[in-house]
Structure 1
């Protein structure tokens, strides 16, 4: 058997809010998708990200309930450089999203920051430190 990792799926409470957040990270998602119950976007390298409303989840899993708390998953976006980490974090927080960890120079050699998407999932922003 040969398996290929293909999709990261997110269950979302508010499709439009979630898609607006990921558009700010540069994903190409048409505005008309805001009212769709299921949305997919290509990430490159054969990988896709999908969003499903809680109602869609319940359509095939009647017992579906969002997991309590945060930290259910973490996504990471590589930035072009350390300044982009800072700019992207600031822009997301200014747009009303929750900053979880302000940008810092991590001991493992990256500029790093963490914001939360509208459903409380961690979204990491990072870039290698110079030198």
Structure 2
């Protein structure tokens, strides 16, 4: 009841200011002030002020707002975590030669992996494959 009275008083005051402005021959400004002054009165007549006042002073409404805020925070947290994991996976796959996170550099980066040092032909390529495996085994002490 109090909120409706205050809104009606604000509308009446606004319409009074609009009338004074129109008296000074500033009709465009007076029309704009009158439009703003009629908004609170329209809200009172539609019942929006009563609903809003009931919602603002309701404990259950504020608990609901808190629950919605918590849900939003959880959604955002999962999005950030998902983006970080997708970014990490993209970085791992973008690295050439990496098999697993923390894997050492492949043995193919040695001298034999350079195109100028490789012997030509199919038999030479098979020899390079075995030399890579042999280098890996030596690296691990096998």
TM-score, normalising length from structure 1? 0.20
Higher helix share: 2
Q: Which has the higher contact order (CA 8 A, sep 6+)?
A: 1
Rg bigger for which structure? 2
